């Protein structure tokens, strides 16, 4: 259940930014790669439980999963990998290299009015 550790780290980062801006956070957006194995429901549940009775209580957490990218060895095109039919979107080639998966990032924090 690495989602609990992720939720703890997200909460700490959001609370730190909240203190810097002296405002209550109301929403946050994170992104992660396709291979990160983040379970949205578990992460949101853990975050909500940890955030209760903090400035982040009631914060809406949005999670975006980034598509795994690959580079075609035939034409050089970078494309999103479809797991059902992994092939180049430009030339249809099936010889490609997988690129690094997107990291988990805290992309945006929305604050309420002062």
| Separation CA 103–CA 114 (nearest Å) | 32
Q: pLDDT value at position 114?
A: 65
Q: What is the CATH number of the domain that holds 37?
A: 3.30.2320.80
Separation of alpha carbons 80 and 67, rounded Å: 6
Number of domains in the chain: 1
State the Cα–Cα distance between residues 50 and 57, nearest whole angstrom: 9
DSSP 34: T
Instruction: Give pTM, 2 decimals.
Output: 0.83
Confidence category of residue 83, pLDDT binned at 50, 70, 90: confident
Residues 25-46: pLDDT tens digits? 999 999 999 898 899 999 999 9
Domain that holds residue 15: 2-111
pLDDT at 2: 84
Q: Residue 91's pLDDT band (boundaries 50, 70, 90)?
A: very high
Give, to the nearest 10 degrees, the angle between helix 40-51 and helix 2-21.
Answer: 50
Is a pLDDT exceeding 60 seen at residue 1? no
Q: How far apart are CA 72 and CA 53, in angstroms?
A: 50
Q: How far is CA 54 from the centre of its chain?
A: 22
């Amino acid at each position: 259940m690495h989602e609990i550790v992720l939720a703890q780290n997200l909460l700490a980062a959001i609370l730190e930014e909240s203190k810097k801006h002296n405002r209550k956070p109301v929403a946050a957006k994170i992104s992660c790669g396709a291979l990160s194995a983040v379970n949205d429901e578990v992460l949101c549940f853990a975050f909500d439980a940890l955030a209760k009775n903090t400035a982040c209580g009631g914060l809406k957490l949005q999670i975006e999963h980034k598509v795994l990218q690959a580079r075609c060895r035939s034409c050089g095109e970078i494309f999103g990998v479809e797991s059902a039919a992994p092939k180049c979107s430009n030339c249809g080639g099936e010889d490609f290299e997988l690129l690094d998966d997107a990291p988990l990032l805290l992309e945006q924090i929305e604050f309420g009015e002062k």
